[in-house]
Amino acid sequence: MAAVQRVLESGWIGTGPECDRFEEELADHLGGVHVVCMNSCTAAIEVAVDRLDLPPGSRVGVPAWTHPATAVPAALSGATIVLLDVDRHTLQVAADSLAGAIDQGLNLLIPVHFAGRPVDHSVLDLARSAGVPIVEDAAHAFGASDADGPVAGRRSVAAAFSFHATKNLTTGEGGALATTDGELAAFAKVHRHHGLDEDAWSRQRSGRWSAGDIRRPGRKANLPDSLAAMGRVQLRSFASRQEHRRTLANQYRRHVSTIEGVSLVPGATGPGNADHLAVVVLDHGIDRDQIVGYLESAGIATGLHYTPLHHLSWFRDHATIGPTGLSVCDDLARRALTLPLHARLRTTDVDDVCEHLAIAIDLAGRR
Ligand SMILES: Cc1ncc(COP(=O)(O)O)c(C=O)c1O
């Protein structure tokens, strides 16, 4: 609150010095890549997709198990969305589904680091070796790392992070594009601001009187300083909050593994997992509605990450289903459930959730 108040009192509440500093600090944190802040992860994906100038008739592969935001920017660009099935243990793009889609022709892949677990290099390398560009949907993956270091667009065109209210690092609404490509970063700085090569802060800083020029129309996707200030504070305490998340996630792993009828996904985790979500899959035959109802009556809110895209009207009518079908997504759509996982939870809360989950499954089994 003090950081936001400082910005409000500074006389500059638009995009300016706080955003610049937040970008520098994020770049440092991510190990020296270029970072351009946006007002959402969706905007970061849009900017990366715009930059690729996909030709008419392009096909863009996305996992069907994701938020619509992964696919909407490419859909709006006029591309055909090719929906890919996921691996049932990670809920991330399945290698066989991707390989089949590549054989049929793909112009872009947008994989999702679901729940903060980095997508396997073997999957990314399938696309890379076929010359298919990749834009990483890293909405869940700020704080995630793999053998290359922090997830930050090192094997792709760019990674798009979300700083939405529910994310591990939040500015309320916000996001960032991370890339090793300096030209893309320069494009993004202009493109996030209508395509104008001069914004209010650069005018103020230089003292020039100039309205700037547009060579290519862009988006309106800048992050205001009041929100960047929140992100800077969040970044300072990020390591300790991630440690707390890891403790909670491990508590879920230990406890859920003792409950019959349910398993946690992603099953395999590693030190680089950002532990963004606690998703469980119920065994066949357990009525999820009953479990949700019981937990709700005990004051425990649950969610669903996600309704697969082909179950949503527009995608059902307009997207293409990849060559291996979407049977894993269809199956998990009836059985997945997201349990509470957030910074204010205590390990005793996790125990409480798990105890109620065990009772709910027991009751559902007896009906
Ligand atoms: C996987 C995924 N991608 C993209 C987004 C969109 O993020 P934003 O709201 O920052 O645009 C979300 C939002 O929750 C998400 O879960």
Q: What are phi and psi of 321, to 5 degrees?
A: -85, 130
Q: Which two tokens stand for residue 58?
A: 């392009």
CA–CA dist 199, 191 (Å, integer): 11
Whether domain 239-366 has CATH 3.90.1150.10: the reply is yes
64-100 pLDDT, tens digit each: 999 999 999 999 999 999 999 999 999 999 999 999 9
The residue to mutate among 47, 65, 67, having the most atoms of ligand 1 within 8 angstroms of its beta carbon, is 67
Q: Which two tokens stand for residue 118?
A: 């980095």
121 CA distance to ligand 1 centroid (A)?
22
Residues designated catalytic: 167
| Averaged confidence pLDDT in the chain | 96
Cα of 42 to ligand 1 centre, how many Å? 6
Residue 234 has pLDDT above 80, yes or no: yes
- In ligand 1, the atom with minimum distance to the C-alpha of 163 is 10
pLDDT of residue 3: 97
Domain 2-236, what fold?
Aspartate Aminotransferase; domain 2 (3.40.640)
Give the number of other Cβ atoms within 10 Å of residue 352's Cβ: 16
Say which DSSP state 220 is in.
B
Helical (H) or strand (E) element with 311: none
Which tens digit of pLDDT belongs to each residue from 30-77? 999 999 999 999 999 999 999 999 999 999 999 999 999 999 999 999
pTM for this entry = 0.97
Q: What is the pLDDT of residues 112-170, one digit of tens each?
A: 999 999 999 999 999 999 999 999 999 999 999 999 999 999 999 999 999 999 999 99
- In the chain, which residues fall in CATH 3.40.640.10? 2-236
Please report which residue ranges of 130-237 form alpha helices under DSSP H.
Answer: 182-191, 200-206, 225-236
Site to probe by mutation for ligand 1, drawn from 40, 164, 222 as the one with most ligand atoms within 8 Å of Cβ, is: 164
Cβ < 6 A, ligand 1 pocket: 40-42, 66-67, 69-70, 112, 137, 139-140, 162, 164, 175
Which residues make Cβ contacts (< 8 Å) with residue 225, sequence separation at least 6?
7, 10, 12, 13, 14, 15, 16, 17, 18, 19
Tell me the two tokens of residue 300. 């425990």
CATH 3.90.1150.10 residue ranges for the chain: 239-366
Q: Is 76 exposed, middle or buried (0-12, 13-18, 19+ CB in 10 A)?
A: exposed
Q: Tell the residue nearest (CA) to atom 16 of ligand 1.
A: 67
CA 41 – ligand 1 centroid, Å: 6
Q: Which of 37, 38, 40, 41 to mutate to test the pocket of ligand 1 (most atoms within 8 A of CB)?
A: 41
